[in-house]
Copies of this chain bind each other. A is one copy, B any other.
Amino acid sequence: MAKDVIPRKTVYRLSVYQRCLQRLKVNDVERVSSEALAKAAGVKPTQLRKDLAYFGQFGTRGLGYNISQLSEKLTQVLGTTRLQPVILIGVGNLGSALMSYQGFNKEGFEIVAGFDIEMPPKITDVPVFPLEKLSGFITEHNIKMAILTVPARRAQEVVNQIVEAGIQAVLNFTPIILQVPDNVVVNNVDLAIELENLSYFIR
């Protein structure tokens, strides 16, 4: 029935489903039921079906979903067909860790450059440039996504600068809630808060 606007949470879960499908593909399974896929994704079967319903009908009643077909459709909806170049700003402790982390590349993202005030010891093949080159690089290479791992006090000013230069999406590892215009998306990852949150639930 293909609704017009897909809720943020649904979009997020689509990525989770996609991951699960990829693992199933490797195992040479051809079809999967909403019940099985939902279990792997940690949701209820009805929720999975509702989520998929936002962008069409893909299952076969009585049989379930064709894995590669559904996976392809998800790729299409999520727009992850092409490789996305990403820059990383703040090559400190966490920043350099993320630069050497290979997990992104597998999923279609490539950190093409790092930026910092100081030049850190070269640890990966990814080039690191001084902050003065930041805006120029973004415009020149038409970069849309940035990972922000600068110290908290620099976060807002850096974001202002990169948004100005054309960045449209930011993965923010600083504890600051960034103020950005409506056309820019920010996802926050705060590892300390995740731990703090967990600790609340242990008695």
Chain A positions 30-65 with a Cβ under 8 Å from a chain B Cβ: 40-42
Q: Give, as a whole number of angstroms, the nearest-CB distance from A181 to chain B.
A: 13
Q: How many angstroms from the CA of A200 to the CA of B196 in the assembled complex? A: 29
Q: Give, as a whole number of angstroms, the nearest-CB distance from A23 to chain B.
A: 8
A126: Cβ under 8 A from any B Cβ? no
Chain A interface residue count, CB cutoff 8 Å, equals 55
Q: How many angstroms from the CA of A169 to the CA of B19 in the assembled complex? A: 23
Given A42-B177, A97-B100, A97-B101: A107 in contact with B196 (beta carbons within 8 A): yes
Q: Give, as a whole number of angstroms, the nearest-CB distance from A203 to chain B.
A: 8
Chain A positions 66-86 with a Cβ under 8 Å from a chain B Cβ: 78-80, 84, 86
Q: Which residues of B contact A23 (CB under 8 A)?
A: 152
Majority secondary structure, A binding face: helix
Contact B191 A15 (CB under 8 A): no
A171: Cβ under 8 A from any B Cβ? yes
Q: How many angstroms from the CA of A100 to the CA of B15 in the assembled complex? A: 29
Question: Which of A96, A194, A199 neighbours the largest number of chain B CB atoms within 10 Å of its CB?
Answer: A199
Contact B171 A194 (CB under 8 A): yes
Encoded as 1 (CB less than 8 Å from any B CB) or 0, chain A from 12 to 30 comes to: 1001101110010000000
Q: How many angstroms from the CA of A104 to the CA of B194 in the assembled complex? A: 10
Contact B193 A197 (CB under 8 A): no
Q: How many angstroms from the CA of A19 to the CA of B175 in the assembled complex? A: 7
Contact B177 A201 (CB under 8 A): no
Contact A198 B169 (CB under 8 A): yes
| A-B contact list, 7 entries, CB within 8 Å | A15-B196, A41-B177, A103-B191, A144-B202, A145-B198, A170-B198, A189-B194
